[in-house]
Amino acid sequence: MGLQRKTPQAKASTNSTVEYENVAEGSHEGRLVMVADLGLHKRDYNGEEKSPCQKISLGIELIGQTLTVDGVAQPRVLWTSPFNIFQTLNEMGKELPMFRVFQPLAKEGE
C-alpha cells in the first residue's frame, strides 16, 4: 500500500496528488539525472569552526520505476542526503564512497 498526498505545487483548492509506493528492499538499477548544488555551508567540528565547504545532493532515477502524479506516470527519482564535497577525493567527505559506485577503482586524492 502506498501513500497519497498533495503535490508541493498543488493549491489548497485543487485535488492534485502523488501516489507513493515504497521501493522494494534490495538493490535497484539507477542513473544519475540531477546534481543539486546547495552552496557553501559553515562547518563545526568538535566545537571548532572549520572553513566553509560546498554541499551537493544527487538525484538518482530508478530505472523502470514510476510515481503517479495527477494520474500521469513520472520517473521515480530519489535524492541522496546532502553531503560535503572537497577539492580532492579524501576521507573528509562522503563523495569518495559515492563516486566509487560509478567508478569502483577511484583512489583517494584524485
pLDDT confidence of 8, banded at 50, 70, 90? Answer: low
Q: What tens digit of pLDDT does each residue of 42-94 get?
A: 988 888 998 888 999 999 999 999 988 888 888 999 998 898 887 777 666 67
Report which listed range, 2-11, 34-43, 69-78, 87-96, is most confident: 34-43
pLDDT at 7 over 60: no
The overall average pLDDT reported for the chain is: 80
Q: Can you tell me the distance from the alpha carbon of 58 to that of 37, in angstroms, rounded to the nearest whole number?
A: 9
Cβ atoms 42, 75 nearer than 8 A: no
